[in-house]
Structure 1
């Protein structure tokens, strides 16, 4: 007989969220009583979670305050004070990607023979979970979506449905149930049912909770099953409850000793830090074994696992998340949105952008970073100055005038004007017939240099500069921003960085002059000279002139600012919060030192795991 599963209300409250009105799934009359009992147990077991405060109404709020506040311009060095205590990490929820990867790996562990079918059936439910929002000092530049901590009713609803579906699916047949819990779950001997269920909770629970399963855990999680004998539905309820556990949904860290301002992570917490940072999912069996044995807490054991984890193919995908989110140009519009309009068709001159061109441009930037991290032992400077194309599709390769890259040695750009990261199409294209030098400058200043740009005055126009039939885009921008309150930022901080690449059009193609069009008919009405000379002032007070994109690229690469900025961006990706330049200087300096020494990107990215900050839990407010 199926004994009642926890009510939705109990699960929502266990997740730190109050659902207005109890929704009890199913019609068994015993379920409300069981729900109240389980809720009371949850309150006793997880006061740290419920103590965050009940969220009412639509159940929305922020746990912690990751990446909140303001920041100034990038320092070029971080002075490590071993006595400084970092701020405590907020209680972080697994990101959408991490949650999906975790549940998927749990299914593969529980019922490997049917995992593909089970996960295929759950795909529509994963799709109902809300996407994470970009969170950072600026909503457009170098924000990391994995840091969003908004807890909404959609999260609770979606996780409940996923857990319920997975629980039913992994127990849907005797063979699946036997794979999950052993032959004891399907034999006719009721005398072994209690031991069989308890063993399943211990095995599956260690992975789901990412920590050892105690006797108290077993007593709690077997609650929905009631008393033996047990059927498949009872096992399904227990699995679903484990999949909704706070220890699965959040990164719960207590450390080995919570009496000091900082405490070393215990072996299981450290295993999770490593796996979620480098794999975006839970530890594998070898990492769990290192945690169980305590080997992970030794220097030799830890170093061995860092190297093994780095060599795993999943690390490449996780680092792709880092580079993709850091270098994402969110202001880049869809490239085919204006296809069919007279002006845009005249501008493209026979080239028709497809619906996937924008994604291909952004993917090329990520592929460049991954190439210098995994395929070729390149440095951060190599990424900034590379003259190689990583265009995997014909639409982008044809814009570059190079062969499609299908792996191996990438082709060199044939155009001498195309030099480095800043001349890749993802940072030049706009989706219109006009370039946007202002947005190009803002991207460099914020995402690559971590400089703060003061907000525009309230009466400032936020519209892109209009295409002129008599003036170049640079001339239009200079007229718009060269005087008044706008001039201070635009003339000195923003515009020069964008002007240096104005010899590329708004598809990212090299041009010697700018063709001028009638904005209404698309008729060619003339040309304007392209002026790329600028004083970019990468460093404050630097009056050196950049004549073109190559000069700009070299000035950026020679400055310590982009290296310090990347250290800060990587810190945010790793720890899920904004860095404190004093209290977090030790972790920042470890990464910056590897960059300054010109170490390969692979060494730079592993440096964070070798830092002391990665291996401790801070309890400082």
Structure 2
């Protein structure tokens, strides 16, 4: 079991928000606001971004209609910024290169497997003759390659791809030649990477502006995780993406498209501990009503709730954290012990707000922050501090690791009794004085997220506190209310979206980007949809800093 605890000295380090529990401590990604309002452009970093597995799957789906999600056979991305799309962590090993070849071969084979499949590439391919083969192959190249490269073809590029067709066609049929061309296309850096050359800014030689096609690509992968659609490509060609107003108009359109909801689901699958709930295992004797099927329903509950609140509800991060309702179907309601809900369709259900309130008290989040059959307040507290407050807590190593192993479940009747050793150890207390009081407030939820008032027949003390805020809290609903009021929590949420949307981990040189997004998020009343729109309005989104 991994327990984020047992550190020594200051918890804060490069890239986080300072020492835990000390809001306002020096932050390497925070600068004097006046430094970012000097009338100049502050673009931050724009690293070269490789397609992630999520993006690869969506792109080949839109290119070829391939819904097999082939990229999930590739190695998982390094966590990096927490979303698997951190450009600085997306290296290419020899193994990955080999597997990218295998995946490309499979996509190409499926795209050319039948006459109907070939016809989707170009109508001429459905009834090609010996005389028309090469012309039809060129038609396919000229249609598919600009979509795959997300820009018009440069001189000679079509001929290079046709040369691959000719090699594959030698001693084989037309479909093999086309498949060979597609294999090469999918292994090209122009497909696998979002390459940006930009256009020069005469007044600022150190800056470049993304071209129309590059801006269309930035937008499409931010909102949809895939290549631009026809409307976005036409807007790029018409020069409509050269202004912030034009970009905003497309961003607003794209956010209302159903494809944006898939991306938002992906974001929360990575921010929250819910993606593996369908694989969660618990002791059947201790938790007889829990199953993997229930775990899958828990995940769907959270995602349905988020989607509704963001798109149909109040739509603020605070309302998500404190909403008095959730979504359940019959089987999940029975698990919760909620009456009056039947059938497989999810429906809105009002909560007993003395027991649950908002996102964090949902069973899936509580079960996902529990790694065994007994709860661990350290893990739950660490999740809140690191994921929702952007506090960095290093994992224990060496001798400290031995001292912070989870206590034996028989060393105390309640988790508070078992984990009290952390507050007594002068080394461990450095971090645990912040994590444990947060985690203890969630002890009313057992290892599968069901509400309880006792553990081993002992009344649970769910009191605690939140770092950086005055006063104690008496339980989980009071804690989430404090979280919803904490500016640090809102700033952290904006940072998480910026890191996902820009495909990086914010560093010192991105300080003005972070400030611009946080300021805009606050001005919107912490509206989530508006936050996503504002991600497209920053200097970081509209400029490229030329490397020196």
TM-score bracket, shorter-length normalisation: 0.7 to 0.9
Residues 1:265 and 2:207 are matched in the alignment = no
Deviation at 1:389, TM superposition (A): 1.9
Equivalent residues in 2 for 1:54-93 (5 A)?
70-73=15-18, 79=33, 80-81=36-37, 83=40, 85-93=42-50
How many angstroms apart in 2 are the aligned matches of 1:424 and 1:171? Answer: 46
Deviation at 1:256, TM superposition (A): 1.4
- Work out which of the two has the higher radius of gyration on C-alpha atoms and give 1 or 2: 1
Task: Call closer, same or farther: CA 1:417–1:126 in 2, change over 3 Å.
Answer: closer
Which of 461, 469, 474 aligns to 2:416? It is: 474
Task: Call closer, same or farther: CA 1:396–1:495 in 2, change over 3 Å.
Answer: farther
Deviation at 1:248, TM superposition (A): 0.7
Equivalence for 1:36: none
- Checking the alignment, whether the CA contact within 8 Å between 2:80 and 2:505 is kept in structure 1 is no
Task: Call closer, same or farther: CA 1:144–1:601 in 2, change over 3 Å.
Answer: same
Deviation at 1:244, TM superposition (A): 1.7
Equivalence for 1:532: 462
Deviation at 1:372, TM superposition (A): 1.4
- Checking the alignment, whether the CA contact within 8 Å between 1:85 and 1:620 is kept in structure 2 is no
Which of 83, 95, 105 aligns to 2:62? It is: 105
Deviation at 1:134, TM superposition (A): 2.2
How many angstroms apart in 2 are the aligned matches of 1:210 and 1:328? Answer: 34
- Checking the alignment, whether the CA contact within 8 Å between 2:353 and 2:477 is kept in structure 1 is no
- Checking the alignment, whether the CA contact within 8 Å between 2:316 and 2:526 is kept in structure 1 is yes
Local SS of the residue matching 2:208 = strand
How many angstroms apart in 2 are the aligned matches of 1:481 and 1:299? Answer: 52
Deviation at 1:219, TM superposition (A): 2.2
Deviation at 1:322, TM superposition (A): 1.0
Which of 84, 96, 111 aligns to 2:53? It is: 96
Equivalent residues in 2 for 1:418-497 (5 A)?
418-429=356-367, 430=370, 432-456=372-396, 458-460=398-400, 461-468=403-410, 471-490=413-432, 492-497=433-438
- Checking the alignment, whether the CA contact within 8 Å between 2:58 and 2:226 is kept in structure 1 is yes
How many angstroms apart in 2 are the aligned matches of 1:329 and 1:220? Answer: 45
Equivalence for 2:5: none
Which of 193, 197, 201 aligns to 1:250? It is: 193
Residues 1:197 and 2:126 are matched in the alignment = no
- Checking the alignment, whether the CA contact within 8 Å between 2:328 and 2:349 is kept in structure 1 is no
How many angstroms apart in 2 are the aligned matches of 1:75 and 1:327? Answer: 25
Deviation at 1:409, TM superposition (A): 6.2
Equivalence for 1:325: 270
Which of 164, 181, 185 aligns to 2:105? It is: 164
How many angstroms apart in 1 are the aligned matches of 2:508 and 2:71? Answer: 38
Equivalence for 2:92: 151
How many angstroms apart in 2 are the aligned matches of 1:316 and 1:352? Answer: 31
Equivalence for 2:4: none
Which of 577, 581, 600 aligns to 2:527? It is: 600
Which of 290, 312, 315 aligns to 1:375? It is: 312
Local SS of the residue matching 1:390 = strand
Local SS of the residue matching 2:260 = helix
Deviation at 1:207, TM superposition (A): 0.3
Equivalent residues in 2 for 1:390-409 (5 A)?
390-392=327-329, 394-395=331-332, 398-399=335-336, 401=338, 403=341
Task: Call closer, same or farther: CA 1:176–1:385 in 2, change over 3 Å.
Answer: closer
Task: Call closer, same or farther: CA 1:164–1:489 in 2, change over 3 Å.
Answer: closer
Task: Call closer, same or farther: CA 1:352–1:400 in 2, change over 3 Å.
Answer: closer
Deviation at 1:548, TM superposition (A): 1.7
Task: Call closer, same or farther: CA 1:459–1:312 in 2, change over 3 Å.
Answer: same
CA displacement, residues 225-274 of structure 1 (integer Å, 9 cap, x when unaligned): 44999934333322222222111111111111288333111011111111
CA displacement, residues 299-328 of structure 1 (integer Å, 9 cap, x when unaligned): 554333222211110000001111221122
CA RMSD of aligned residues (A): 3.2
Residues 1:223 and 2:163 are matched in the alignment = yes
How many angstroms apart in 2 are the aligned matches of 1:489 and 1:158? Answer: 42
How many angstroms apart in 2 are the aligned matches of 1:198 and 1:576? Answer: 35
Per mean C-alpha deviation after superposition, the further-off stretch among 164-173 and 315-324 is 164-173
Which of 225, 230, 233 aligns to 1:280? It is: 225
How many angstroms apart in 2 are the aligned matches of 1:150 and 1:236? Answer: 27
Local SS of the residue matching 1:411 = strand
Equivalence for 2:6: none
- Checking the alignment, whether the CA contact within 8 Å between 1:87 and 1:620 is kept in structure 2 is no
CA displacement, residues 110-155 of structure 1 (integer Å, 9 cap, x when unaligned): xxxxxxxxx36x66x545322334223xxxxxx1123351323343
How many angstroms apart in 2 are the aligned matches of 1:311 and 1:614? Answer: 20
- Checking the alignment, whether the CA contact within 8 Å between 1:377 and 1:602 is kept in structure 2 is no
- Checking the alignment, whether the CA contact within 8 Å between 2:146 and 2:153 is kept in structure 1 is yes
Deviation at 1:105, TM superposition (A): 1.2
Q: Which has the higher contact order (CA 8 A, sep 6+)?
A: 2
Deviation at 1:195, TM superposition (A): 4.5
Per mean C-alpha deviation after superposition, the further-off stretch among 556-565 and 387-396 is 387-396
Equivalence for 1:311: 256
Task: Call closer, same or farther: CA 1:469–1:235 in 2, change over 3 Å.
Answer: closer
Deviation at 1:84, TM superposition (A): 5.8
Equivalence for 1:560: 487
CA displacement, residues 399-456 of structure 1 (integer Å, 9 cap, x when unaligned): 2535369778621113512123332223433364422111111111111111123554
Q: TM-score scaled by structure 2? A: 0.83
Deviation at 1:571, TM superposition (A): 1.0
Task: Call closer, same or farther: CA 1:614–1:603 in 2, change over 3 Å.
Answer: same
How many angstroms apart in 1 are the aligned matches of 2:529 and 2:389? Answer: 21
Per mean C-alpha deviation after superposition, the further-off stretch among 497-506 and 468-477 is 468-477
Q: Point out where structure 2 has 5 or more consecutive residues left out of the alignment.
A: 1-12
Q: Point out where structure 1 has 5 or more consecutive residues left out of the alignment.
A: 1-67, 109-118, 137-142, 340-344, 516-526
- Checking the alignment, whether the CA contact within 8 Å between 2:244 and 2:537 is kept in structure 1 is no
How many angstroms apart in 2 are the aligned matches of 1:211 and 1:181? Answer: 19
How many angstroms apart in 1 are the aligned matches of 2:295 and 2:91? Answer: 28
Equivalence for 2:181: 238
Residues 1:355 and 2:292 are matched in the alignment = yes
Equivalence for 1:129: 74
Task: Call closer, same or farther: CA 1:600–1:84 in 2, change over 3 Å.
Answer: closer
- Checking the alignment, whether the CA contact within 8 Å between 1:388 and 1:411 is kept in structure 2 is yes
How many angstroms apart in 2 are the aligned matches of 1:234 and 1:167? Answer: 10
Equivalence for 1:25: none
